[in-house]
């Protein structure tokens, strides 16, 4: 998809519909985009109200999609929470949805999959167990897994 400028002739509703035809936005990020285009506050409020009525802006559905996508990318709960928050979704709502749709058991399974995938590329460090475990730990931490989950998985597998 090319990075082209959207022409803003018309109402905030027209502008937001053009944006939403490309990708989904949270309410907060959509508000920010319309404010940057210098639409009036009253027009923005009306446009957001209509978008919510039609179901075009739904923070909960957007967060659920991001959670599903994050699971597929083997992402941990911590990074997932941060990514959802970065998209402009309320942190409390994000954490509630993560607790609802991403169980601790799923997180362990996903961390194990990520670990197995990464182990192959770190085989050259296999002789030095300390470096090997440290690299695996750091990798899982960057993927957003908690230290409890990481330590549990590294102990279970007892990589020696």
| Banded pLDDT at 118 (limits 50, 70, 90) | confident
pLDDT computed for residue 123 by the predictor: 79
Average pLDDT over residues 56-85: 93
Q: In terms of residues, how long is the chain?
A: 160
**For residues 39-64, average pLDDT:** 92
Instruction: Provide the whole-model pTM.
Output: 0.80
Give the C-alpha separation, 18 to 15, whole Å. 5
Tokens 């709960």 belong to which residue? 77
Torsion of CA 151, 122, 159, 71, to 10 degrees: 40
What average pLDDT does the segment 43-68 reach?
A: 92
Of residues 71 and 128, which shows the higher confidence score?
71
């Amino acid at each position: 998809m090319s990075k082209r400028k959207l022409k803003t002739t018309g109402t905030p509703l027209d502008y937001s519909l053009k944006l939403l035809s490309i990708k989904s936005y949270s309410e907060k990020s959509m508000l920010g985009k319309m404010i940057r285009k210098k639409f009036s506050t009253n027009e923005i409020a009306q446009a957001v109200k209509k978008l919510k009525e039609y179901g075009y802006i739904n923070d909960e559905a957007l967060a659920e999609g991001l959670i599903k996508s994050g699971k597929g990318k083997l992402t941990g709960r911590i990074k997932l929470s941060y990514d959802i928050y970065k998209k402009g979704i309320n942190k409390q709502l994000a954490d509630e949805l993560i607790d609802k749709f991403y169980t601790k058991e799923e997180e362990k399974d996903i961390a194990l999959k990520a670990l197995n995938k990464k182990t192959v590329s770190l085989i050259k460090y296999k002789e030095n167990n300390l470096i090997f475990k440290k690299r695996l730990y750091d990798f899982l931490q960057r993927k957003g897994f908690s230290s409890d989950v990481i330590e549990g998985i590294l102990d279970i597998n007892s990589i020696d």
